[in-house]
Amino acid sequence: MAGLMDMISNRDTSVDKSIAETTMQCLKEMKKQTGENVELVKKINTLVEASIMKIKSLEAKMAASQADSVAIEELRQEMKNIKSEFSDELTMIKNQLNEDINKENAKLYKNIKGILEEYDDKQQKKIKSIGRINKAILWFLFLITVLLITNILGII
């Protein structure tokens, strides 16, 4: 009976190890994706800084040419172009981040689903093996009971 309990606890340990290993793999993938996201955020910051520098230079040009309305209109158009470029870059980076996040979420979902299914299968196997053991124990109890009754009655 003690050997059986050891066997069951060893199975639990192997399932726990499997879950721990898969979880570690998922965490490594998340860390990698986070590193890529950090790089994209750095790229966004660089774009923001470049845009701020362009806007400041445009503001300086506007201050120098306040009297010239044609120059002001050109500067306004240039600012609109910079805003449009900046907006397009940010949209592209945002879409890339969303795509990367969705891919990573799908991977993690599949990994966790696989882990849970594997764990469920192993639990079902354990339940079946315990059921078999219970049947064997009941059979032996029945046999012992019959032997005791026959012994008491003096048949044997």
- Would you list the domain boundaries of the chain? 2-153
Confidence class of residue 5 from pLDDT cuts 50, 70 and 90? very low
Question: What one-letter code names the amino acid at 80?
Answer: K
- Contact between 111 and 30 (Cβ < 8 Å): no
Neighbouring residues of 105: CB distance < 8 A, sequence distance ≥ 6: none
Q: Is the dihedral of CA 55, 60, 66, 67 positive or negative?
A: negative
pLDDT reading at 22 higher than 70: yes
Query: Percentage of residues in the chain with pLDDT exceeding 90?
Result: 3
How high is the pLDDT of residue 4? 43
Question: What one-letter code names the amino acid at 115?
Answer: I
Copy the structure tokens of residue 99: 């795509």
Question: What one-letter code names the amino acid at 25?
Answer: Q
Report d(CA 100, CA 96) in Å as an integer: 6
What b-and-e string marks burial along 74-84, b requiring 16 or more CB atoms within 10 Å of the CB?
A: ebeeeeeeeee
The number of angstroms, rounded, from the C-alpha of 20 to the middle of its chain's C-alpha atoms is 14
Range list of β-strands (E), 32-121: none
Confidence class of residue 35 from pLDDT cuts 50, 70 and 90? confident
Q: pLDDT: is 62 or 57 the higher one? A: 57
Q: Model-level pTM greater than 0.75?
A: no
DSSP state at residue 147: H
Q: 2-64 vs 69-153: helix axis angle to the nearest 10?
A: 170
Report d(CA 41, CA 93) in Å as an integer: 9
